[in-house]
Chain A
Amino acid sequence: MSATTSNLEAPAPSRINREVLVKWAPLLVLGVLLLLFPALEWLEDFREGKDHIYLLDSRFFSIRNAARIAIAAAPALMVAIGVTFIILMGSIDLSMEGTVSVCAVLFAFMFLALGGTLASWAWIAIPGALVVGAVMGFLNGLVHVKLQIPSFMASLAMGFVGTGFALLLTGGDRIRIEDELFRSLLTVRWLNFPIMVYVALAMLLLAWFIQSRTTLGRNFYAVGGGEELAKASGLNVSRVRIMGFTLAGVFFAMGALLAVGRIGIAETATGNNFMFVSITAVVVGGTALWGGIGGVWNTLIGVLIVNVINNGMVVIGLPNWIQDATLGLLVITAVVLSTDRKSVSFVK
């Protein structure tokens, strides 16, 4: 089997080699999807004999729908950016569901206790939630690094603890945040897009800055590219890892804030589904699970791919049970395509 693969990849001189393809594939996929869903709509209307100009009459390819996709994608983007840093280091963080729930619930408690409107001291709840996220991420990193537990298991366990803690805090209740000023994240629109979309974009730029213009960001790549090498060149890998998990926690908290802003409710279930969606988005965006390759822009593409698929399927009228399986197969395909099989001996 390995012999045939190397034969297939043999024609190296051509411009389009595997590396280039893997690098641009996510963007290509996104482009194809953006054209595919309107095409399917067009086909359906054409069959029924309705007038339909491709793209112009599309329900999918419209600004209203773009806003809908952006709103759905914003919280997921925050969470996915957080886990991107971790995956860049070659680790994984599966604690996001717990962290998001705890941050959402504690944010709601703080917000209501301090006055319940952004116009009062309750604004402190926002930095407060970010601190909660940082602490959870820090603990997560400590468990992973100090107890030497593989990150997927350490973070999965911490995620369970987080969900349990959120349940303990709420006792299963939902907490409503009805402050108009805070809900303006969703309700106030600039150029057709609600404020939360711009907040998410600002955070994306911040993440990009951290990734490309800070020592910490470069250290993520160094650890992911080769941990032994990074260690040998004097890098304190344990510290980088713990800082990475802490940073991820802050972004999870940001995701929690946007999620609460979107539905106006904080509960234990706020964190549901973030794990699979964010991991899928990161991997589908082209950040390699082995570390060192990719970054936050890949994650943006990945989040958009996932949300475009989810939205497009609804628009063209496919039942929503298909979505889970589609994402499942998508993540497997993405990992397979991004894995250079010659460099991996085996996986567990």
Chain B
Amino acid sequence: MDIEKLKPHFPWITLLVLVLIVGVVNPVFFDPAGLVSLVADVVPLFIMALGMTFAIYIGGIDLSMQQMANMVTVIATVYLANFGIGVALIAILAGFIVGGISGYVTTRLYVPSFVSTLAMGFVALSIAKWLSGQRALHMDATLRNDSFGWMFGNTAGIPHELVIAGLLLFIAWFLQTRTTFGRSLKAVGAGELAAVASGLNVDRVKILAFAISGVFAAIAGLMFSVKLSGGDANLANGFLLLAIVAVLVGGTPLTGGVGGVINTLIGTLIVMVIRAAMVYLEIDATQQQMIFGIVLIAAIALTIDRSKLRGIVK
């Protein structure tokens, strides 16, 4: 048995093993209703991780997602009264533009993505602080339910969040596997110089990847603000680490090129199971960040393609 051949199967095997362990120790875990609500809770994180997948897939990273989501919670809350459901469009547009600028700065101005996205994250933070007046804002309940009530609720026992997540996953999956753009993403992630040499417009592909990442961050932010019925400049804090963890444990390596959105689904579920296990083992919230940090290091170390590191990453 070759370990390299097994590698792509690690994520779902890990998930299965974790589920079995948690299930055996705590059979209540398999209770369908509980399981459904557990999965529904993880949807905003999943959406963020989907976006992160695009940035990591091309070998970059998006450190602005958290602030982007924060900014969108504020935008959504402030403009809900004026635009109603149209606020979703504004949010998506804002995500696309800010993400696109990150992409432009990375590709055309040669600023490494961890710096450009970090910097654009702070621009987003500024916008959030400015729009919110640095206060926690609240949505008007009736307005919220009129425009976005459909986001939460059940149809035939299936939470609507899951439907939204499934739809977004399908879109991301379609983009990644069934379009020329998706192929280009893979080419850029697998070997950027080769992609340039074969005449691909690499810059455009990369800028789009960051813009898409921004859009998903914005959608996640919109869900946060509707779910929590408000917005402020710190609402989504703490999700950056989990989004990166979800992508990497799912098997998309930091070096890009392999993996993808389905992997991220598995990765998000792994994160969810670990969280559920920690709740059951009574490991309180203060310790979770440390554990996820260690999980992150382990996941990177296991998945990273070291043959690609030469001369690029220091």
Interface positions of A (Cβ within 8 A of B): 1, 89-92, 94, 143, 147-154, 156-165, 167-168, 171-172, 227, 276, 279, 283, 289, 291, 319-329, 331-332, 335-336, 339, 341, 344-348
CA distance A336 to B301 in the complex (A): 31
Known A-B contacts A151-B314, A324-B129, A325-B127; A168 and B254 likewise in contact (beta carbons under 8 Å): no
Known A-B contacts A227-B314, A332-B109, A347-B110; A148 and B309 likewise in contact (beta carbons under 8 Å): yes
Looking at B78-86, B118-126, B170-178, the stretch in contact with chain A turns out to be B118-126
Residues of A within 8 A of B134 (CB): 321
In the complex, are the beta carbons of B289 and A167 less than 8 A apart?
yes
CA distance A331 to B117 in the complex (A): 11
From A156, A165, A348, B290 is in contact (CB under 8 Å) with: A165
Residues of A within 8 A of B293 (CB): 157-162, 164
In the complex, 5 of the A-B residue pairs with CB atoms within 8 angstroms, ordered by the A residue number, are A149-B300, A157-B296, A171-B286, A329-B123, A335-B112
What are the 7 A-B residue pairs with the smallest beta carbon separation, nearest first? Answer: A164-B290, A325-B126, A164-B289, A161-B293, A321-B129, A160-B293, A150-B313
B13 within 8 A of A: no
5 more A-B residue pairs beyond the given contacts A339-B109, A347-B113, A348-B60, with a C-beta to C-beta distance below 8 A: A147-B301, A157-B300, A167-B289, A335-B110, A339-B110
In the complex, are the beta carbons of A324 and B115 less than 8 A apart?
no
Q: Shortest distance in angstroms between B130's beta carbon and chain A's nearest beta carbon?
A: 5
From A150, A159, A331, B309 is in contact (CB under 8 Å) with: A150
In the complex, are the beta carbons of A168 and B314 less than 8 A apart?
no
Residues of A within 8 A of B241 (CB): 160
**Main SS at interface, chain B:** helix
In the complex, are the beta carbons of A90 and B314 less than 8 A apart?
yes
From A165, A326, A336, A348, B59 is in contact (CB under 8 Å) with: A348
Q: Shortest distance in angstroms between B75's beta carbon and chain A's nearest beta carbon?
A: 14
From B109, B286, B297, A167 is in contact (CB under 8 Å) with: B286
CA distance A293 to B108 in the complex (A): 22
Residue of B59, B121, B289 with highest tally of chain A CB at under 10 A = B289
CA distance A332 to B202 in the complex (A): 21
B264-289 Cβ-contact flags toward A at 8 Å (1 or 0):
00000000000000000000001111
Q: Shortest distance in angstroms between A325's beta carbon and chain B's nearest beta carbon?
A: 3
Q: Shortest distance in angstroms between A246's beta carbon and chain B's nearest beta carbon?
A: 17
Known A-B contacts A153-B61, A331-B115, A331-B119; A147 and B289 likewise in contact (beta carbons under 8 Å): no
